[in-house]
Amino acid sequence: YTILSKVHSDRNVYPSAGVLFVHVLEREYFKGEFPPYPKPGEISNDPITFNTNLMGYPDRPGWLRYIQRTPYSDGVLYGSPTVENVGKPTIIEITAYNRRTFETARHNLIINIMSAEDFPLPYQAEFFIRNMNVEEMLASEVLGDFLGAVKNVWQPERLNAINITSALDRGGRVPLPINDMKEGVYVMVGADVPFSSCLREVENPQNQLRCSQEMEPVITCDKKFRTQFHIDWCKISLVDNTKQVSTFQEVIRGEGILPDGGEYKPPSDTLKSRDYYSDFLITLAVPSAIALVLFLILAYIMCCRREGVEKRNMQTPDIQLVHHSAIQKSTKELRDMSKNREMAWPLSTLPVFHPVTGEVVPALHADSYDHTSMPLMQTQQ
């Protein structure tokens, strides 16, 4: 049901179309490609990362995915080959980077996709496992245990693992780093017999109601998975290809795949010159003319439509004009008096004679005095 191989230089592998393909890139193999550790006797544990791409292209084919959790773990190529690539060798360039010495090692992986006689299997079921990451599920022993549990529940003659997809590739969120939470993984399997009654229990109205209320559905065969795999039965998908009568099938393109637009056709060299005079009038002349008209209207209103003081006085009551005029006159007199305050001094500040001795007493308007606080009458001794 799966092809599991280790990396070698220019290795040929022969996966089947529609069957899960897994290829492990082991760090231990690439350690021999790099110089030994600087200190003799110490075990080399250099961080190594991998870059995989289709020969002559910057990325991998659409059906092939790659994952490496940390530079100290192995890399894994996995995916489900398509029927369109049957008989066409696919050369994958594998470049290993040593993050300690910054050296590289390159190998080629030649994938020869073969056609499967029993493909496609008519009955396909996709399970969502919540307590697994994709690299954990790709391990041969874990995937074998899961297929064994499905076989006990389904009882098919032929059972194949078709594809494995991480929940993050389906729009899922990265889990919080608490309680050892996993991101989840979707596993699609195919069989040659109809679905068992246990799998059909998900379609019951009671279980559908419980799923709509975000409750666990009641599945009799869940205990056969619960010991190792926590399956979300509300997200299980059952597809029966035998009931699909229509031969037309809409092509659903995956993320990152652009539609085929045909051969690129550059514009002709003999292009006619374009007249931009009309564009100039529309973008500059018309807005300028509108702004000028608005400016003239505003100037006419502000300068030529002023009512003036005479019209204001005619519309104002006489008593209000008299009060206003009286206030203006009083204000003007006060201002004139404040201006002439220091010009004429009171008689009390002029030189006087002492009543006893007859001597002349000096005036009190010396320059050093503050005129604003000077008393009008001199205090008699």
Among candidates 15, 17, 237, 239, which has minimal Cα distance to 122?
239
d(CA 149, CA 146) in angstroms, rounded, equals: 5
Mean pLDDT of 251-269: 67
Question: How would residue 127 be classed by pLDDT, with cut points 50, 70 and 90?
Answer: very high
Give the length of the chain: 381
pLDDT over 60 (residue 357): yes
pLDDT over 90 (residue 252): no
In this predicted model, what pLDDT tens digit does every residue of 26-44 receive, in sequence order? 888 887 778 776 666 566 6
Query: Where do the structural domains in the chain lie, given as residue ranges?
Result: 8-116, 120-244
pLDDT the model gives residue 40: 64
Mean pLDDT of 334-361: 65
pLDDT the model gives residue 37: 66
In this predicted model, what pLDDT tens digit does every residue of 363-380 receive, in sequence order? 554 444 444 444 545 555
Q: Does domain 120-244 have CATH number 1.10.357?
A: no
Question: How would residue 2 be classed by pLDDT, with cut points 50, 70 and 90?
Answer: very low
CATH number of 8-116: 2.60.40.10
Question: How would residue 294 be classed by pLDDT, with cut points 50, 70 and 90?
Answer: very high
Pick the more confident residue, 294 or 324.
294
pLDDT the model gives residue 35: 74
Pick the more confident residue, 271 or 107.
107
User: Of the given ranges (182-191, 192-201, 302-311, 354-363), which has the lowest mean pLDDT?
Assistant: 354-363
pLDDT over 50 (residue 7): no
d(CA 223, CA 201) in angstroms, rounded, equals: 14
Sign for the pseudo-dihedral over CA of 229, 234, 236, 238: positive
If you write DSSP's letter for every residue of 151-197 in order, what string do you get? HHHH--S-EEEEEEEEGGGGTPPPPPSSTT----EEEEEEESSPPPH
User: Of the given ranges (76-90, 124-138, 347-361), which has the lowest mean pLDDT?
Assistant: 347-361
Question: How would residue 246 be classed by pLDDT, with cut points 50, 70 and 90?
Answer: very low
Question: Whole-angstrom distance between the N-terminal and C-terminal Cα of the chain?
Answer: 132
pLDDT the model gives residue 118: 60
Chain mean position to CA 342: 80
pLDDT over 90 (residue 175): no
In this predicted model, what pLDDT tens digit does every residue of 202-226 receive, in sequence order? 888 998 999 888 888 888 888 888 8
pLDDT over 50 (residue 162): yes
% pLDDT > 90, the chain? 19
pLDDT the model gives residue 303: 83
Mean pLDDT of 45-65: 90
